[in-house]
Amino acid sequence: MFHHILSSVNKNRKGIILILCSSFCTSLGQAFWKLFDHDQILFLILGFLLYGCGAILMILAFRFGSLSVLHPLLSMGYLFALFVGVFILGEVISYKEIIAIFIILIGVLFVGGGDH
């Protein structure tokens, strides 16, 4: 099983990197939207720029990998958003969320772990 996953990762490496960058950019863009206040339009602009970059990276990623492998990796955006919330917004995560992180990671491996 792990050989199959590693083979798929090697085959789709460029697409995987781009889709993970896409997920990170969109998560960070959403965090900037949350930070937006009427006085600081810069956060709103940065949020749109990051979200737009994320969309472009996602489109590019699909050119360099299998859809069945890359699309499940978009769920990594939930994990990135959780970490952005903790480290940038000062939010606190619970044990339920930590368990959810592992469930998402396992799901990504099973669903997106192969081309077949």
Confidence of residue 72 (pLDDT cuts 50, 70, 90): confident
Residue 100's SS3 state is helix
Please report, for residues 1, 44, 84, the alpha-carbon distance to residue 35 in angstroms, rounded to integers and kept in the order given.
Answer: 43, 8, 12
- What average pLDDT is seen over the chain? 87
pLDDT tens digits along 43-63: 999 999 999 999 999 999 999
- The pair phi, psi for residue 37, each rounded to 5°, is -130, 160
Q: Are 57 and 22 in contact (CB under 8 A)?
A: yes
Nearest to 108 by CA among 87, 65, 79, 81: 79
The model's pTM = 0.83
Domain coordinates of the chain in residue numbers? 2-112
Q: For residues 93 and 83, what is the distance between their CA atoms, to the nearest angstrom?
A: 9
Confidence of residue 113 (pLDDT cuts 50, 70, 90): low
The pLDDT score that the predictor gives to residue 26 is 95
pLDDT tens digits along 15-41: 999 999 999 999 999 999 988 887 789
